[in-house]
Amino acid sequence: MFLDRDASIDKACALIREAAEGGATLAVFPEAFVPCFPVWVWFIPSGRTHPLRALYSELHSNAITIPGPETQRLGEAAADAGITVVIGVNERNSEASNSTLYDTILYLGSDGAVLGKHRKLIPTTGERLVWGQSAEAGLEVFDLPFGRLSGLLCWENYMPLARYALLAGGEQIHAAPTWDRGEPWISSMRHVAKEGRCFVVAACQAFHKDDIPDSLDFKTEYLGEVEGWINPGLSLIVDPDGKIVAGPLDSEEGILYADVEPHQLIGPRWQLDAAGHYARPDLFDLTIQRGARPFLREEDGPQSVEDDVAP
């Protein structure tokens, strides 16, 4: 499924069905699941423009637009299963040049409708070789039957103001599609859950070198000394007390499940409510610029003197 849009969507649809059959009402997928995370950014030097161009072109041709036929397919799978879906995708900037790619969270309701999307605000280090940074905040919170849902991508979770904006929007369940893994990341997810008094679902793709087709030159040219798991995954679910209730899932593919009781979304905030009684809006002020900044503005030019003269 690496760099294969149709195959990655087929896999996503199958996992949506499996998660629903397992009793889930919400499924969270990893960062850039469709069609893949551009793993080459950690291995190919930025000055090697020709291999980077070739891989970017391939990724672009397998990226999606929102909405589009791919979101319809995923939406139909969500509706058939009756499950809400959060999935990481590579998205084209179809509103302008259609050439830049964004690292995007796509939200789909249990009726299959596109609830919204969030483009990554700041791609991290090597990711900037592939993804643009969002021209809008996209920090929406969705009020769903099982709770108020939103999320951030990977190291966006280290942006305190972004986290606070979601908490001030009433977030109770926090999706964290990511490529990061390891103990520091696990500790961070526990902190995000404890600070926000919310459930955190951190989904990271377990990725093996064998997942890269041999036909791609960069596998032999830049990954020759790499063996086994490039990313062990370590997906996990954390409760509002910062306790791990599922995972981490180490070096294997699978689905983690956790039960969420309504009282867990409110009760822990009796002690700490970061956007409630623990906030000080009289001392601190946060403003979010809503809406996208267009790439092109069109205005009528000034009228000439001749235009004002009657014939």
Q: Which of 117, 120, 194, 219 is catalytic?
A: 120
What is the DSSP secondary-structure string of 34-90? Answer: BS---GGGGTS-TT-HHHHHHHHHHHHHT-B-SSSHHHHHHHHHHHHHT-EEEEEEE
- Residue 31 falls in the annotated catalytic set: yes
**Token digits for 44?**
């190919």
Using CA atoms in the order 189, 195, 201, 204, what is the torsion angle rounded to 10 degrees? -20
Please confirm, yes or no, whether 21 is among the known catalytic residues.
no
Which tokens hold the place of 133?
Answer: 């940074």
Catalytic one of 31, 70, 140, 171: 31
Residue 160, Cα to own-chain centre: how many angstroms? 17
Cβ atoms 150, 174 nearer than 8 A? yes
Count of C-beta atoms within a 10 Å radius of residue 191: 16
Among residues 137, 99, 131, which one has the least CA distance to residue 118?
137
Residue 120 bears catalytic tag: yes
Given the residues 13, 154, 198, 204, select the one marked as catalytic: 154
Is 88:105 a contact under the CB 8 Å cutoff? Answer: yes
C-alpha–C-alpha distance, residues 91 and 263, integer Å:
37
Q: Rounded to an integer, what is the distance from CA 271 to the centroid of its chain?
A: 30
Pair 237, 223: CB distance under 8 Å? no
Active site residues: 31, 120, 154
